[in-house]
C-alpha cells in the first residue's frame, strides 16, 4: 500500500501563484518560499480587513478524546475542504503549523494523510517558513534581556524568586524542564531557577496566534509579565524595552502561510499552539483573512473537543469576534472501541457492545459543542476492518442528540470520500441554526471559570484548588485581570486529568496544580494534573528513523 | 546624512532571478525566498561540481585587529566585488550570514554599510532563510536525544561526567553559559552539568560550513563526539542514531543563499561561524560554487587576520582544497591611531606619530599573510577626518613590505570608490605570484600546531599548557585525531589573549585553558584566555532600540 509519503511525492503540485489565484490572492501579495509555499503579505491582509467584511461561514473540526487507534481530525479538515471545493463552494482550510518536537518524538508529521494532505509535507513538517523559529527567538530574546537586566544592576527591582518568564525551544527535551541557570560565577550572572517550555506552549505563540495585525502584536508582547518586584508589582516586556525587538523578530512570521492540499485547495497553515498545554488553534490573522476570501472556512482545533474546541470557542472566537456556523466532531469506530475498553491489539475483531460503550465519549463531546450553540455533525472515518454493525452502533448513539454520523473515506478517496460530509455541513450552514455563545461570561471569577469548564465540559464533580493557587487567582483579579478567559492545560486522553480514564468519566476531581497569568495573550493558564509544558522523547524516538535517501530526499516522516 | 538603513531602503533591488542570470544560475535552479533572496538548489550545485572545474581566482579580504573605531571589512568585500564587476570582470561575493546574537547586542547588522551593502538588509540580519535556526535545531536535537538516551537506560554506557556536547541558541545569553539540567526528579532525567554556546560557535555550524554536499554533511554529523563512556570510549551522534534526522533538518539550509549588493552584484551569503570562537568563514559549498561561476570570488574572514584569515587558510582552504590568489588587509587610519594609543574620543585630531605606531598592527597582519604565500594589498578605508599626512604614514608603513595601501571610498561612492583597489587586486591575480601553503602540516603534534600559530601569527613567547590540557591533546592523538588542524578561540582585539594589548605585542604568553575535539568538523578547538563561547548582552543592548515603525518597517538595525 502506498504510504503518505509515497502519495505526497507522487502528487503534482501546482505553482503557489495558481493556488493563490484560486483563493483570490493576487501574485503581488505573495512572498514565495520556494515554489509551493508563500506568505500572504500583511499589506494585502490589512487591505482585506479594511475593504471587506468577513463573508464566509466558519466550520470547526474537532474530535473525540484521542486514542492510540487514531481518529483523523486533520485529514477530515482537509478532506472536507477539498469536498466543498469539488461541490463548487469556494472553500479554504485554516490549519496549525506542525511542531518539530512531536515530529521527532512519537507523532511523525502533522500534515494529514492518505489522499487528504497538505503539501509539501516534508517542508511543512520541518522548518516551513520559519515561524516557530521566530517565535522561539522572540521568547528567548526576552529571557536574555531579563537576565541581562539583573546582571547590570536590576533597575526595575525584579525579585529573582518571582520571575515567571521561561525560555523556549521547539524540541521535546525533558532535560530542560527544570534547570538552574546563570551558574559559574560573576561573569555569568545571578544564579536562579529556570526552565524551558516547548515553543508551542509559550505565551509568545499565543500572542502571535491571537493578534490580528502588527500593532496588536506589539501591544500584546509589551503586556507580557515576566515577573514581580519584591513588593508584588508586575514587570512587563515593555518595561524591559524588549517588545519592539520581539515584534521585529516576528514581523515576517505574522504573514499567513499559503499552501495547497493534494487536490489543489488553498490552505492557510499558520500558528500552532498545542491544545493540551496551550490554546490549540491556528492564527486569528489567517482565519480572518480566509473568512474574507472564501465562502466556507474549515478550521481545526487540537485534540479532543474538551480541549481544542473549548479554547477555540472561549478564547479565540471571544477575542477575535468570530462565530462558527457549524461543528464537525471526528470519530472512528476503532477509537470508540478503545474508549469502550478494548485493547489496541484486539481492535480487529468486531465488538458492537464496546463501540456502543465507547460512544459515550463521542456523545459527550457532541453535547458539549451543542452547549456553545453550534449545530453538529459527526464525521466517521471508515477503516476497512469496521463492520456495518459497528458503524450502525455509532450512528444510533448520536441520533438521539439530533446529530448525523456521516461515513467518510477521504483518506483513501480524497474529496469524493468526504462529499456526503460536505453536503451535511452545507445543510447545517444553510439551516442557520448556529447561535454561538461562549460558555462563561467575562465577569465570572477566574476560579468560577475554571469550575464552569470542569463541570460543564469535563463533567468533573469538583476542582481541587490548593490555597496558594486560589490566592494567586484572587491576586490576578485584584491586579485587574479577572475579566480574561482561562486556558486549561490537561491531558488530552481523558475528560478527567487522569489519562487512563477513557470513555465518559463522571464525578472525578480536577486537580488544579498551578496558574500562570498570560497578560499578553489575555488568559490565565490553569495547569491540571501531571501535564507537562515540555514533552519528552519516547524510548525509540521517531528521529532515529528520519534521514536522507541517496537522492537527498527526507525519509521517515510519516 | 543618509543612514545605512536609509540607503538600503532607497535602493531599487532587482528580482533575484535577474541577479541569478548575471551569475549564470538558471531560474530553474532557484528556490525563491521572497523576491530578493533565493537558495541555489543542491542539484545545480552538484551538477556544477561534476561538470566544471573551479575557474575563478579566490580573493580573501581580512583586516587588522578590530577596534571601536571600525575598519569596514564587510563593506570592502562588497565594494571590491562591485568594483570588479564595474570594471568588466565577472565577480561574485561570498560572505557569512549574520548572527542574531550580536544583532541584538552591540553590533547591529552585518550586511555592510553606506553604498556597499548586501540587501535586503533587515531580512538578512534577522532570520534570512532560516539556516541558523536549522543549525540550532540540529544541535539541540542531538542534545535531546542524548539526554533521552540516558533517561531510557543508557545502553551505550555514556558517563554523565564526560558528556561534552552542549546545547546552542542564536542569542547572546550569558545566563545559559553554565547550567544544571534535568533537575526536578525522575520524570525529568538525570541531573548533570550542561550549558549553551551561541549557534555560530557550535560544531554543527562548522560541519555545515565545511561540507561540500549532503553526503559529506551526514558523515561529518555522524562523527561528532558527544562524550565518553566510563572507560574512555568515544560516543558519537551516529551511535545515538541522530545523524539522519540532523541531516534532514539541515538539508534545505545547505543550499547556498543568493542575494545582491546595492549595485547588483551577486552575493552568496551562507554559513557564519564567528572567527574568535570558531573557524570564521562562509561555507565551502558557496565558495566552491562561486569559483565555478565567476572569474573572481571575493570572500571575507572574520575579525583580524590572526583569527579569521589564519583559520580560513589553515582549516577551510586545507579541508576544501582551495588556494587563494590574493589577500586584501583592511585598515583605517583612525583604527591604527587607536592601536597607537589614542582614545576613541580623541580620534578627531591629527596624530601622525600614533598612526605610525599603530601601523605595527597592520604590518604584522600583512607579514602573516605573506607567510602563507599570498600577495597582499592593503585597503585603506578613508574617513573624512583623515589627513593626508596620516594616510601617507600608513602607506609608508607597508611599502617596505612590498605592499601598496590603496585609498578606498566605497562606503560613500560605491564601486567607483573601490576601483583602484580592484585594479590592484587584478594586478596581484594577474601577477600569479600566489603560492599558498598552510602554516603547519598535518603531521605536527596538536600542541605543536597551537604553538606554531602562537609563535608565527600571534608572536607569543610561549603557550602555557596546563598538564591536564596537554594530556587531553595527547589523548586525542592516541585516538587517531592527531592529523587535524587547530581552531584557536581567542579575543579578537589583540594578537595576545589580553584584549587590552593593542598594536603588535611581543613576548606574551598564550594561556591555553581548554581543548575540545570537534571530530565532525575535523579540528581541535583550543580555548585561550577569557574568551566565551556564549557572549553576553551589553548594559544597553541594541535590542532596546529595535522596533517597528507605523508602516511595519524595522527600525534600529544599523
pLDDT, tens digit (0-9, with 9 covering 90-100), for A252-283? 999 999 999 999 999 999 999 999 999 999 99
- Cβ density class B210-223: b for 16+ within 10 Å, e for less: bbbbbeebbebbbb
Distance from CA of A40 to the nearest CA of B (A): 11
Q: Is it the case that residue A182 has pLDDT exceeding 80?
A: yes
Domain boundary among A230, A250, A270: A250
Q: Is residue A557 part of a domain?
A: no
Residue range A506-553, pLDDT digits in tens: 999 999 999 999 999 999 999 999 999 999 999 999 999 999 998 899
Whether the full predicted model's pTM is greater than 0.95, yes or no, is yes
Residue range A469-481, pLDDT digits in tens: 999 999 999 999 9
Q: Is residue A91 part of a domain?
A: yes
Residue range A416-444, pLDDT digits in tens: 999 999 999 999 999 999 999 999 999 99
A218 contacts in chain B (CB < 8 Å): 547-548
Residue range A302-357, pLDDT digits in tens: 999 999 999 999 999 999 999 999 999 999 999 999 999 999 999 999 999 999 99
**Do residues A337 and A404 share a domain?**
yes
B98, B145, B543: best to mutate for the A interface, most A CBs within 10 A: B543
Catalytic residue among A267, A275, A379, A526: A275
Domain boundary among B431, B459, B482: B431
How many residue pairs bridge chain A and chain B with CB atoms within 8 Å of each other? 239
Q: Using the 8-state DSSP alphabet, how is residue B201 labeled?
A: G
**Do residues A42 and A160 share a domain?**
no
B181 contacts in chain A (CB < 8 Å): 175-176, 179
List the one residue out of B528, B506, B527, B511 whose CA is nearest residue B459.
B506
B533 noted as active-site residue: no
**Do residues B191 and B326 share a domain?**
no
pLDDT number for residue B112: 92
How confident is residue A10, by pLDDT bands cut at 50, 70 and 90? confident
pLDDT number for residue B217: 98
The helix/strand/coil state of A456 is helix
Q: Is residue B555 part of a domain?
A: no
**Domain CATH code at residue A116:** 3.40.50.300
Q: Is residue B549 part of a domain?
A: no
Q: Is it the case that residue A192 has pLDDT exceeding 90?
A: yes
Between chains, do A248 and B556 touch, taking CB under 8 Å as contact?
Answer: yes
B87: left (phi over 0), alpha (psi -120 to 50) or beta: alpha
B383 noted as active-site residue: yes
B275 noted as active-site residue: yes
Tell me: is residue B168 an annotated ligand-binding position. no
Q: Which residue has the cell 532587482?
A: B14
Q: How far is CA B210 from the centre of its chain?
A: 12
Q: Is it the case that residue B485 has pLDDT exceeding 90?
A: yes
Q: Is residue A547 part of a domain?
A: no
Kind and range of the H or E element at A211?
none
**Do residues A20 and A138 share a domain?**
no
Cα→Cα distances B52→B24, B55, B79, B312, B332, Å? 13, 8, 28, 24, 39
Catalytic residue among A39, A89, A96, A516: A96
**Do residues B164 and B304 share a domain?**
no
pLDDT number for residue B537: 96
C-beta of residue A80 within 8 angstroms of C-beta of residue A330: no
Q: Please name every residue paired with A38 in a beta bridge, in sequence order, or none if there are none.
A: A32, A258
| B547 Cβ contact list (under 8 Å, min separation 6) | A218, A243, A244, A245, A247, A248, B554, B555, B556
pLDDT number for residue B107: 66
How confident is residue A2, by pLDDT bands cut at 50, 70 and 90? confident
pLDDT number for residue A557: 83
**Do residues A371 and A415 share a domain?**
yes
Instruction: Give the strand pairing for A38-40 and A30-32.
Output: antiparallel
The grid coordinates listed for B221 are 554529523
Q: Is it the case that residue A151 has pLDDT exceeding 70?
A: yes
Q: Is residue B551 part of a domain?
A: no
Across all residues in chain A, what is the average pLDDT? 96
Which residue is closest to A238 within chain B, CA to CA?
B544
pLDDT number for residue B2: 77
How confident is residue B10, by pLDDT bands cut at 50, 70 and 90? confident
**Do residues B468 and B482 share a domain?**
yes
Domain boundary among A250, A269, A294: A250
Residues of chain A with pLDDT > 90, as a percent, come to 94
Catalytic residue among B89, B90, B96, B288: B96
- On the CB side of B121, CA atoms within 13 Å amount to 30
Between chains, do B552 and A170 touch, taking CB under 8 Å as contact?
Answer: no
Report whether the peptide linkage leading into residue B120 is cis, meaning its omega lies within 30 degrees of zero.
Answer: yes
Q: Is residue B338 part of a domain?
A: yes
Residues of chain A with pLDDT > 70, as a percent, come to 99
How confident is residue B1, by pLDDT bands cut at 50, 70 and 90? low
Q: Please name every residue paired with A409 in a beta bridge, in sequence order, or none if there are none.
A: none
Total structural domains in chain A?
A: 3
| B191 Cβ contact list (under 8 Å, min separation 6) | B180, B181, B182, B183
A36, A248, A255, A499: best to mutate for the B interface, most B CBs within 10 A: A248
Between chains, do A187 and B536 touch, taking CB under 8 Å as contact?
Answer: yes
pLDDT number for residue B238: 98
Backbone angles phi, psi at A218, to 5 degrees: -65, -40
Q: Is residue B540 part of a domain?
A: no
**Do residues A193 and A116 share a domain?**
no
Residue range B89-145, pLDDT digits in tens: 999 999 999 999 999 998 667 899 999 999 999 999 999 999 999 999 999 999 999
Distance from CA of B169 to the nearest CA of A (A): 9
pLDDT number for residue A71: 86
The helix/strand/coil state of A395 is helix
**Do residues B365 and B411 share a domain?**
yes
CB burial of residue B550 (10 Å; 0-12, 13-18, 19+):
exposed
| A67 Cβ contact list (under 8 Å, min separation 6) | A335, A338, A339, A493, A502
**Do residues B334 and B454 share a domain?**
no
A223 noted as active-site residue: no
**Domain CATH code at residue A488:** 3.10.410.10
Report whether the peptide linkage leading into residue A120 is cis, meaning its omega lies within 30 degrees of zero.
Answer: yes
Residue range B238-266, pLDDT digits in tens: 999 999 999 999 999 999 999 999 999 99
pLDDT number for residue B7: 87
- Summarize the confidence of residues B388-392 as an average pLDDT: 97
Catalytic residue among A132, A303, A372, A523: A303
Tell me: is residue B67 an annotated ligand-binding position. yes
Domain span at residue A517 reads 446-528
Model ipTM value? 0.96
- C-alpha gyration radius of chain A: 23
Between chains, do A244 and B214 touch, taking CB under 8 Å as contact?
Answer: no
Between chains, do B137 and A170 touch, taking CB under 8 Å as contact?
Answer: yes
Between chains, do A178 and B178 touch, taking CB under 8 Å as contact?
Answer: no
Q: Is it the case that residue A108 has pLDDT exceeding 70?
A: no
* Distance (Å, whole) CA B151 – CA B148: 5
**Domain CATH code at residue A230:** 3.30.1510.10
Residue, of B42 and A52, whose pLDDT is higher: B42
Q: Please name every residue paired with A296 in a beta bridge, in sequence order, or none if there are none.
A: A57, A91
**Do residues B110 and B149 share a domain?**
no
**Do residues B336 and B422 share a domain?**
yes
B132 noted as active-site residue: no
- Summarize the confidence of residues B190-215 as an average pLDDT: 97
Q: Using the 8-state DSSP alphabet, how is residue B66 labeled?
A: P
pLDDT number for residue B430: 98
Amino acid at each position: 500500500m502506498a504510504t503518505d509519503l509515497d502519495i505526497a511525492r507522487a502528487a503534482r503540485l501546482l505553482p503557489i501563484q495558481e493556488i493563490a489565484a484560486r483563493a483570490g490572492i493576487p501574485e503581488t501579495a505573495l512572498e514565495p518560499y520556494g515554489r509551493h509555499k508563500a506568505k500572504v503579505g500583511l499589506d494585502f491582509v490589512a487591505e482585506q480587513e479594511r475593504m471587506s467584511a468577513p463573508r464566509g461561514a466558519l466550520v470547526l473540526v474537532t474530535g473525540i478524546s484521542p486514542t492510540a487507534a487514531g481518529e483523523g481530525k486533520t485529514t477530515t479538515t482537509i478532506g472536507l475542504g477539498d469536498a466543498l471545493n469539488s461541490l463548487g463552494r469556494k472553500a479554504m482550510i485554516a490549519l496549525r503549523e506542525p511542531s518539530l518536537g512531536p515530529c521527532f518524538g512519537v507523532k511523525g508529521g502533522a500534515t494529514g494523510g492518505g489522499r487528504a494532505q497538505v503539501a509539501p509535507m516534508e517542508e511543512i513538517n520541518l522548518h516551513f517558513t520559519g515561524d516557530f523559529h521566530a517565535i522561539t527567538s522572540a521568547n528567548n530574546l526576552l529571557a536574555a534581556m531579563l537576565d541581562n537586566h539583573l546582571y547590570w544592576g536590576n533597575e526595575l527591582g525584579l525579585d529573582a524568586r518571582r520571575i515567571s518568564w521561561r525560555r523556549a525551544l521547539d524540541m521535546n527535551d525533558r532535560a530542560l524542564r527544570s534547570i538552574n541557570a546563570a551558574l559559574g560565577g560573576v561573569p555569568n550572572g545571578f544564579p536562579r531557577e529556570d526552565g524551558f517550555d516547548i515553543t508551542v506552549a509559550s505565551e509568545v505563540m499565543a500572542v502571535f496566534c491571537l493578534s490580528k495585525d502588527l500593532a496588536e502584536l506589539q501591544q500584546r508582547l509589551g503586556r507580557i509579565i515576566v515577573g514581580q518586584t519584591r513588593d508584588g508589582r508586575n514587570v512587563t516586556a515593555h518595561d524591559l524595552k524588549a517588545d519592539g525587538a520581539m515584534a521585529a523578530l516576528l514581523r515576517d512570521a505574522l504573514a499567513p502561510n499559503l499552501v495547497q492540499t493534494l487536490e489543489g485547495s488553498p490552505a492557510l497553515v499558520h500558528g500552532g499552539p498545542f491544545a493540551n498545554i496551550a490554546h490549540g488553534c491556528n492564527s486569528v490573522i489567517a482565519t480572518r483573512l480566509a473568512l474574507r476570501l472564501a465562502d466556507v472556512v474549515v478550521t481545526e482545533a487540537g485534540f479532543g473537543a474538551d480541549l481544542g474546541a473549548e479554547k477555540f470557542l472561549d478564547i479565540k472566537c471571544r477575542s477575535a469576534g468570530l462565530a462558527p456556523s457549524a461543528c464537525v466532531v471526528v470519530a472512528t469506530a476503532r477509537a470508540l472501541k478503545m474508549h469502550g475498553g478494548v485493547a489496541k491489539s484486539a481492535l480487529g475483531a468486531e465488538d458492537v457492545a464496546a463501540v456502543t460503550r465507547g460512544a459515550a465519549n463521542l456523545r459527550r463531546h457532541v453535547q458539549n459543542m451543542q452547549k456553545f450553540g453550534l449545530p453538529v455533525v459527526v464525521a466517521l472515518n471508515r477503516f476497512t476492518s469496521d463492520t456495518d454493525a459497528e458503524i450502525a452502533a455509532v450512528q444510533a448513539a448520536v441520533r438521539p442528540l439530533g446529530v448525523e454520523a456521516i461515513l467518510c473515506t477521504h483518506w483513501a478517496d480524497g474529496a469524493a470520500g468526504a462529499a456526503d460530509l460536505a453536503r451535511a455541513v452545507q445543510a447545517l450552514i444553510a439551516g442557520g441554526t448556529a447561535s454561538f455563545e461562549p460558555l462563561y461570561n467575562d465577569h465570572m471569577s477566574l476560579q468560577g471559570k475554571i469550575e464552569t469548564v470542569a463541570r460543564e465540559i469535563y463533567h468533573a464533580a469538583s476542582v481541587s484548588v490548593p490555597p496558594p493557587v486560589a490566592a494567586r487567582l484572587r491576586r490576578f483579579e485584584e491586579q485587574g485581570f479577572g475579566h480574561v478567559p482561562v486556558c486549561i492545560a490537561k491531558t488530552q486522553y481523558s475528560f478527567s486529568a487522569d489519562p487512563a480514564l477513557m470513555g465518559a468519566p463522571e464525578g472525578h476531581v480536577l486537580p488544579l496544580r498551578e496558574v500562570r497569568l498570560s497578560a499578553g495573550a489575555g488568559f490565565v493558564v490553569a495547569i491540571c494534573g501531571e501535564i507537562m509544558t515540555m514533552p519528552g522523547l519516547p524510548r525509540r524516538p521517531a528521529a532515529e528513523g528520519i534521514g536522507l535517501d541517496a537522492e537527498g530526499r527526507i525519509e521517515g516522516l510519516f
